[in-house]
Amino acid sequence: MTPDKEDTLPDKIPTHIGIIMDGNGRWALARGLPRMAGHRAGTENLRRIIEACIEFGIKYLTIYAFSTENWGRPSTEVQGLMRIFENVIDNEFQELNDQGVRLRHIGRLDRLRPSFRKKVLEAIELTRNNDRLILNIAFNYGGRDEIVCAIQALIRDGVKVDDVTDNLVSQYLFTAGVPDPDMIIRTSGELRGSNFLIWQGAYSEWYFPATFWPDFDRQELLKAIEEFSQRERRYGLTTKQAKQKKHHAP
């Protein structure tokens, strides 16, 4: 699939996009619907955004599906979300596999029902050789928890203090082997990072559209990519230094 003729993709396309899919509940309430209707609409929208990422040549997509803090929501909502997520595995997995999507999980699976956890692990294994789009699902995930887990693993492995580097820590994160996100999008207009990819997003370009997640469609994603293409990423350098570094990059 290629972009529509009327669309002109920028020359600079992010390799990795992270998305905080926010606003499902407010989308539903604005329409007089129950919150779960918003979550279902948000799940349906994810399919469209995955297809758009493939179309636009995005190689990595990380979605914030369920945080470690979300367990504190009303039990009926948590249970409803679990049913929706399990239905996604049951109903969407084969199509994702056919599209060449590789599923990865970041976070913890220990609080899922054994049957659901088994389905997730099977989907991860069956798609492990796909490479058209790497879809990281942050489920029961928290950025602080991820860093704590990395520190604990470093200690268990007996890593010496002087051997700890940025690159080594990255290898101990849930996202090991995945490049840091070039851009992180949070829909609904909220201006918070909410414990998402704290380490990995240190130099990400953030984008905060007011659009609720169920309405964040292909054109909205294209607008985000266009915005990204206009930004100058200096990584703490001056504009002149950044341009020189880019010019001399292999």
Residue 186 main-chain phi, psi, to 5 deg: -120, 115
183-186: strand order across its sheet: 101-107, 133-141, 60-67, 16-20, 183-186, 205-207
Which pair of structure tokens corresponds to residue 23?
């606003």
Q: What is d(CA 55, CA 245) in angstroms, rounded to the nearest whole number?
A: 30
Sign of dihedral through CA atoms 78, 79, 84, 89?
positive
Which pair of structure tokens corresponds to residue 55?
């179309």
Question: Which of the following is catalytic: 4, 70, 97, 110?
Answer: 70
166 in catalytic set: no
Q: What is d(CA 196, CA 175) in angstroms, rounded to the nearest whole number?
A: 12
Q: What is d(CA 183, CA 18) in angstroms, rounded to the nearest whole number?
A: 6
Question: Which of the following is catalytic: 22, 145, 180, 182?
Answer: 22
97 in catalytic set: no
How far apart, in Å, do the first and last CA atoms of the chain sit? 30
Exposed / middle / buried, residue 109 (Cβ in 10 Å: 0-12, 13-18, 19+): middle
195 in Cβ contact with 143 (< 8 Å) = yes
What residues act catalytically?
Answer: 22, 70
